[in-house]
Structure 1
Amino acid sequence: MEEPYKPEPGKLLKDIYVPSDLKKLKPEQLQQVCDELREFIIDMVSVHGGHFGASLGVIELTVALHYTYNTPDDKIIWDVGHQAYGHKILTGRREEFHTNRKYQGLSGFPKRSESEYDTFGVGHSSTSISAGLGMAIARDLDKSDKKVVSVIGDGAMTGGMAFEALNNAGALESDMLVVLNDNNMSIDPNVGALKEYLAEITTSKTFNKMRDEIYDLLGHFKSAGDKMRKVASKLERAMTAAITPGALFQALGFKYYGPVDGHNVDALRRHLEDLRTVSGPKLLHIVTVKGKGFAPAEREQTKWHAQSSPFDKITGQPLSASQRSTSQPPKYQDVFGDALVELAEENEDIVAITPAMPSGSSLWPMMNRFPNRAFDVGIAEQHAVTFAAGLATQGKKAFAALYSTFLQRGYDQVIHDVAVQNLPVVFCIDRAGLVGADGPTHHGLYDISYLRALPNMVVSSPMNEQELRDMLYAASKYNNAAWAVRYPRGRSTGMDVRKEFRDVELGKGRIIADGEKVAILSFGPIGNYVLDARTELQKEGITPGHFDMRFAKPLDTELIDHVLSNYDKIITIEDGTKLGGFGSAVAEYVAEQGVAVPVKIMGVPDRIVEHGTQRQLHDEVGIGPDGIIDEVKKAMGVLVE
């Protein structure tokens, strides 16, 4: 077996295995470490893929933090964990970093079970200040002297939870540092008033000059005793409140410092060393460039948020033939995005909402065609759902495009603001099912279960891109309840798609193929594995029936009755948790009929599934074609090896 590519670390980096090794260096050597660390990440990702721009933007901060603080005793919590590649490499995982995001390899995000340096698991955003405050209060209760640093950036400050935590932390007055990594980006450019607020700070020449003078003054007063330092600190707070929007953080109870250049490692080190001696809640505002040090990533930050295929580490040009191919089927998200524009052309009441994912959810076509009817609300899923509900109360047809894993963050609003009020919001649920290399924080496994439990909610999933287009059309005309349409990450089937839309009858599935003895009821694109499995089974004279159910709620009970009358056993399959999902719905109905037809539920088991390719994970949990073949044979009484 060929050895995986491992780039050679630089002269200084090769001897840094843990932060204590970094601390052996002189301060003037840290810039070289940064350069070598940045080059190592570019080398690695150019071959193996992974998140990219965010980690390049915090190289200097990462080095300065681990040089200044005594990790792992001191706690560093990373928000939106794709910033943490440099952190992982400096904390004992350089030799294994080629396995990053690969099956059974390192996670692409900080993970507590992976390293003692990963203090908190972070795949989603806006959690670091809350978690950091919890650690700080625990430290206070234990009467220890650990330091706590929460690094929040890449758009995470637009999440409401971050401000809830700031408000609480300021009131509790526990000693902690928040580093605001201000790069004006999440995956797409940041939006909203906060973006303008921070921009005003960073471009105010008057404030910057005054800030520098006050900071120098504080430095001179270090040897003059606590009383003089307190006077200088009061002067700083008063002047800051008078002339800068940094007063927002001061009003929340934080001492504000910044903005400072996030790519000057020596300045960062000095600021961090100084702030170690300042008690209470503090916020250091640093300004960085996402993709720093790799020109293509600096120019096109959204495109270079992450890379899945090899690229030339000098030019950025793709090396993968598949990436250059124009014959690949479209991604499901793009099928959705194009269909939405077509529907919006015909229905002026259609509006679209996404929480900071116009690229990931393919809403850019809608935003470009109808800029007044498409809204990026920032990393704010709760707000996105209730915003959609408010639009729906006024007769607008709101399409809320969210990843399945992110919709979880707005679940209370789905219940209280949509379902209870019976508002016909359309939830377009992307990345449903096992998503692959992003792993457990991003798998979309629970939406069928958590939505099926709600009144006034339709739960559907297309088997292919034609059905996706038609379901969106049907949902755009349906006003009796909310309608959820779920579809997976990745490419569609490549089928020939007709241009015109056709209605999909609510709660009605379709017969793919009748058969004998065993009926397979599939929900969503996982049904394409059933097609593959059935082809192989037919070679052995085994012909199960196959039914594309389309709806987990309402169920097509007529079609299930047909199955109960003609088959001895039922197998259900879904790309979601087995608990409470589509299979459970079928089993509940069969039990209610009092019919002695066994139901085998195939889905994701009740455990955390790690990362890998989608196919690897489907096979691991037994819902790939081979797993389907085995289950059909068992149901038929055929011996399985």
Structure 2
Amino acid sequence: MSYPLLSQISSPEQIKYFSLDSLKLLATEIRQKIIDVMAVNGGHLASNLGIVELIIALHHVFDSPGDKFVFDVSHQSYPHKLLTGRYHRFDQIRKFKGLCGFCNPKESKHDHFYAGHAGTALSLGLGVAKNRDINKRKEHVLPIIGDATLTCGLTLEALNNIPRDLRDFIVVLNDNEMSISENVGAMKYILSRFFNHPRSNKIYNELESLLSKFPGLGIQLAKQGHKLKESLKNLFSTAPFFEQFHLDYVGPINGHDISKLILVFEALKNNPHPVLLHILTVKGQGMQTATLNPVSWHGCKPFDKQTEKFLTTSSQVSFPQVFGKHILEMAKNDPSLIAVTPAMLAGSCLQEFMKAFPERCLDVGIAEGHAVTFCGGIAYGKKMKVVCSIYATFLQRAFDNLFHDVCLQELPVVFAIDRAGISGPDGSTHHGIYDISFLNVMPNMVICQPRNAQLLKELLESAFSWGLPTAIRYPNMATEETDAALKTRSLGIGEIVVTGSKLAIIAVGHMCYTAIKVREILLPYGIDATIVDPIFLKPLDQDLLYSILTKHTYIVTLEEHSINGGFASIFNQFIVRNKFYQLQVLNLGIPEAFIEQGSYQDLMQSLNLSPKAIAEQIKKEFFSFSEQLNPPSYDYRSFSKY
């Protein structure tokens, strides 16, 4: 499809001169462009299709980047990117060295913050407004939040900090899931339209000012007028909730009506108080399949545009799928098992658990801190088996809760830590490469990572027998599943996967399979590596490590985690503490840098963590090939069983 309007836009300034018909056509082109690119790349589809008219209206009325659009999460910023000079790079969104799928200040002056976690926009916006006022600048600040943002505690904290005299501050509430019944909804809309329209608010404020000037009775008359208005609002509108936080409430209005959006934004530009504009949008607007299935099409895989069917990428199951299926089986056999997740029901593969046991599968919304503390409360008394299913990147938000409300209380909550490792196209805000560092400092915390589906099931089955807070980390990648009988895993016991000599590669989780490929590359050079899966990062299998370190001269640690604070740090402390000074050690993992988006393969290659790159580093670091034997012949297929 051609995009005659969209392809010519290099700056949002250009659309200020578009007619209403041209703006509507532009909305159609933006939607089609997003669909075309998501069909190839995958990404956040439904949320972006639902916000098109809003973004167009914002750029038509306000002057970005002078006026600051502060996106919450920013997974819905694709239309914003298309209107701010990034159209010709949009085909590369979420790809290696391409556009980020979220806001990124390095991409454009129109993006002001990296964003990827919910609940930050209001706090950031208030901070930007404070900066503006202190420095006496003139600009509008517009936090753009979703209805789910209001489930996040940080947003509620920010609401409590809004000053009444804050000017040029408009909170845009993009409500794309609330269902309003026809009878109540119609009355609510009509009353809201009168009481909360900018013009009626202006009339009310002027009337209040006039009444207050009457000698003796003025202030009382003004208060009675205010009480009448508030009483009617309390009956029919949600406005009082927001107005308790010093926000003038406007709405709800149709978020797909460009004309109305422009009219309201123009009217709000000079409001003397902070405003919350409540708009109603439809996720997936313009694509019926996405509208009918907003969860599936929120973060979609590549798909066929004609059939609107997702393309099959792998016949294997993924670690999250194995988790979801097995935890459901455990729940069927154990009525004391409860799962809690902070708004990641689908991503964590807990939908079937929710259908089967809705009273024992609890989604608490975007509230990671609450999720962890809530789990601590459920686990109180140690009679319930509590699993907190949470992404590694989101667990970062609950560090304090983890320490105070689970570990300090010595409660045996099991944390199923999903997306542990590189998160590919989602980029720097989502990579789960820091959690080992803060989990390791928690007294009595168990940290383990399975290399395959079998081991994940066994760790889940065994974890509650240890009686300790436990983190089971696993990536969002394919794994092999078998029907082998499950065995009980003892706390702190690792495994030797392949026995070799001289060189040992201690690889965390799924990186064992990378280590096996490295071993195959090195074998023709006479380097026969031992592959060790520690399974437990805390506590370490000290007996196993003693055995390995006394029999090998060269040690490589391999992990898909930041080396700084990861398994490398834990291992290095172990060898220093136990005075293994004769060893030569090479730590391989994620460097101390923010890793951007890209395919898993591209990112691992760029990090020198591909099998070939690892083998080259080992050869360069440890071996002089003048001393090596002639390369023997090996049948590499024999290693596939590992």
Same fold (TM over 0.5): yes
Contact 2:46 2:285 in 1 (8 A): yes
Cα distance in 1 for residues equivalent to 2:592 and 2:68: 31
Q: Which residue of 1 aligns with 2:87?
A: 94
Q: Report the residue type matching 1:471 in the other structure.
A: L
Q: Report the residue type matching 1:205 in the other structure.
A: A
Q: Which residue of 2 aligns with 1:57?
A: 50
Q: Which residue of 2 aligns with 1:448?
A: 436
Q: Which residue of 2 aligns with 1:622?
A: 608
Contact 2:507 2:558 in 1 (8 A): yes
Q: Which residue of 1 aligns with 2:302?
A: 309
Q: Which residue of 1 aligns with 2:129?
A: 136
- TM-score of the two chains, using structure 1 as the length reference: 0.91
Q: Report the residue type matching 2:440 in the other structure.
A: R
Tell me by how many angstroms 1:468 deviates.
0.5
Q: Which residue of 1 aligns with 2:375?
A: 388
Q: Judging changes above 3 Å, is the alpha-carbon distance between structure 1 residues 538 and 214 closer, same or farther for their aligned structure 2 residues?
A: same
Q: Which residue of 2 aligns with 1:485?
A: 472
After the TM superposition, which residues 143-154 of structure 1 pair with which residues of structure 2 at under 5 Å, given as runs?
143-153=136-146
Q: Judging changes above 3 Å, is the alpha-carbon distance between structure 1 residues 81 and 532 closer, same or farther for their aligned structure 2 residues?
A: same
Q: Judging changes above 3 Å, is the alpha-carbon distance between structure 1 residues 62 and 506 closer, same or farther for their aligned structure 2 residues?
A: same
Q: Judging changes above 3 Å, is the alpha-carbon distance between structure 1 residues 147 and 237 closer, same or farther for their aligned structure 2 residues?
A: farther
Q: Which residue of 1 aligns with 2:631?
A: none
Tell me by how many angstroms 1:238 deviates.
5.7
Q: Which residue of 1 aligns with 2:97?
A: 104
Tell me by how many angstroms 1:613 deviates.
1.1
SS at match of 1:279: coil
Q: Which residue of 1 aligns with 2:320?
A: 333
Correspondent of 2:24 among 23, 31, 44: 31
> Percent identity between the aligned chains?
36
Cα distance in 1 for residues equivalent to 2:341 and 2:350: 8
After the TM superposition, which residues 324-473 of structure 1 pair with which residues of structure 2 at under 5 Å, given as runs?
328-394=315-381, 395-473=383-461
Contact 1:80 1:154 in 2 (8 A): no
Q: Report the residue type matching 2:623 in the other structure.
A: G
Q: Which residue of 1 aligns with 2:597?
A: 611
Correspondent of 1:264 among 254, 257, 262: 257
Contact 2:556 2:588 in 1 (8 A): yes
Matched, 1:246 2:239: yes
Q: Report the residue type matching 2:385 in the other structure.
A: K
Tell me by how many angstroms 1:167 deviates.
1.1
Superimposed CA distance per residue, residues 280-317 of structure 1 (whole angstroms, 9 cap, x where no aligned partner) = 221001111111000100011111112232321x5413
Tell me by how many angstroms 1:114 deviates.
1.1
Tell me by how many angstroms 1:92 deviates.
0.4
Q: Report the residue type matching 1:227 in the other structure.
A: E
Superimposed CA distance per residue, residues 68-116 of structure 1 (whole angstroms, 9 cap, x where no aligned partner) = 1011100001112110100000000001101100000010000111110
Contact 1:137 1:174 in 2 (8 A): no
Contact 1:521 1:548 in 2 (8 A): yes
Q: Judging changes above 3 Å, is the alpha-carbon distance between structure 1 residues 619 and 172 closer, same or farther for their aligned structure 2 residues?
A: farther
Q: Which residue of 1 aligns with 2:199?
A: 219
Cα distance in 2 for residues equivalent to 1:203 and 1:150: 28
Q: Report the residue type matching 2:427 in the other structure.
A: G
* Greater CA drift, 573-582 or 46-55: 46-55
Q: Which residue of 1 aligns with 2:640?
A: none
- TM-score of the two chains, using structure 2 as the length reference: 0.91
Correspondent of 1:600 among 586, 602, 617: 586
Contact 2:521 2:612 in 1 (8 A): no
After the TM superposition, which residues 56-75 of structure 1 pair with which residues of structure 2 at under 5 Å, given as runs?
56-75=49-68
Cα distance in 2 for residues equivalent to 1:248 and 1:133: 19
Tell me by how many angstroms 1:491 deviates.
1.1
SS at match of 2:112: coil
Q: Which residue of 1 aligns with 2:568?
A: 583
Cα distance in 2 for residues equivalent to 1:12 and 1:618: 38
Cα distance in 1 for residues equivalent to 2:81 and 2:147: 18
Q: Judging changes above 3 Å, is the alpha-carbon distance between structure 1 residues 220 and 135 closer, same or farther for their aligned structure 2 residues?
A: closer
Matched, 1:634 2:615: no
Q: Which residue of 2 aligns with 1:8?
A: 2
Matched, 1:120 2:113: yes
Which structure has the greater CA radius of gyration? 2
5+ residue gaps, structure 2: 211-221, 627-642
Tell me by how many angstroms 1:627 deviates.
2.6
Q: Report the residue type matching 1:440 in the other structure.
A: S
The root-mean-square deviation of aligned C-alpha atoms, in Å, is 2.2
Matched, 1:298 2:291: yes
Contact 2:324 2:350 in 1 (8 A): yes
Contact 1:426 1:482 in 2 (8 A): yes
Tell me by how many angstroms 1:155 deviates.
1.9
SS at match of 1:574: strand
Cα distance in 2 for residues equivalent to 1:36 and 1:279: 36
5+ residue gaps, structure 1: 1-6, 185-194
SS at match of 1:402: strand
SS at match of 1:205: helix
Correspondent of 1:530 among 515, 518, 521: 515
Contact 1:127 1:161 in 2 (8 A): yes
Q: Judging changes above 3 Å, is the alpha-carbon distance between structure 1 residues 274 and 416 closer, same or farther for their aligned structure 2 residues?
A: same
Matched, 1:274 2:267: yes
Tell me by how many angstroms 1:175 deviates.
3.8
Q: Which residue of 1 aligns with 2:635?
A: none
Cα distance in 1 for residues equivalent to 2:552 and 2:483: 32
Q: Which residue of 2 aligns with 1:502?
A: 487
Contact 1:17 1:91 in 2 (8 A): yes
SS at match of 1:382: helix
Q: Which residue of 2 aligns with 1:188?
A: none
Q: Judging changes above 3 Å, is the alpha-carbon distance between structure 1 residues 202 and 574 closer, same or farther for their aligned structure 2 residues?
A: farther
After the TM superposition, which residues 181-200 of structure 1 pair with which residues of structure 2 at under 5 Å, given as runs?
181-184=174-177, 199=180
Superimposed CA distance per residue, residues 250-275 of structure 1 (whole angstroms, 9 cap, x where no aligned partner) = 11111111111111111011111111
* Greater CA drift, 225-234 or 172-181: 225-234
Tell me by how many angstroms 1:46 deviates.
1.9
* Greater CA drift, 102-111 or 163-172: 163-172
SS at match of 1:140: helix
Cα distance in 2 for residues equivalent to 1:17 and 1:267: 25
Q: Report the residue type matching 2:175 in the other structure.
A: D
Cα distance in 2 for residues equivalent to 1:436 and 1:553: 27
Q: Judging changes above 3 Å, is the alpha-carbon distance between structure 1 residues 157 and 539 closer, same or farther for their aligned structure 2 residues?
A: same
Q: Report the residue type matching 1:431 in the other structure.
A: R
Superimposed CA distance per residue, residues 449-504 of structure 1 (whole angstroms, 9 cap, x where no aligned partner) = 1101110200000011110000011113331x100000001211x24242x43111
Tell me by how many angstroms 1:230 deviates.
5.9
Contact 2:125 2:142 in 1 (8 A): yes
Contact 1:201 1:244 in 2 (8 A): no
Q: Judging changes above 3 Å, is the alpha-carbon distance between structure 1 residues 248 and 577 closer, same or farther for their aligned structure 2 residues?
A: same
Tell me by how many angstroms 1:363 deviates.
1.0
Contact 1:357 1:376 in 2 (8 A): yes
Superimposed CA distance per residue, residues 2-34 of structure 1 (whole angstroms, 9 cap, x where no aligned partner) = xxxxx531x322322211111121244322221
Q: Judging changes above 3 Å, is the alpha-carbon distance between structure 1 residues 144 and 210 closer, same or farther for their aligned structure 2 residues?
A: same
Q: Judging changes above 3 Å, is the alpha-carbon distance between structure 1 residues 610 and 201 closer, same or farther for their aligned structure 2 residues?
A: farther
Q: Judging changes above 3 Å, is the alpha-carbon distance between structure 1 residues 488 and 389 closer, same or farther for their aligned structure 2 residues?
A: same
SS at match of 2:54: helix
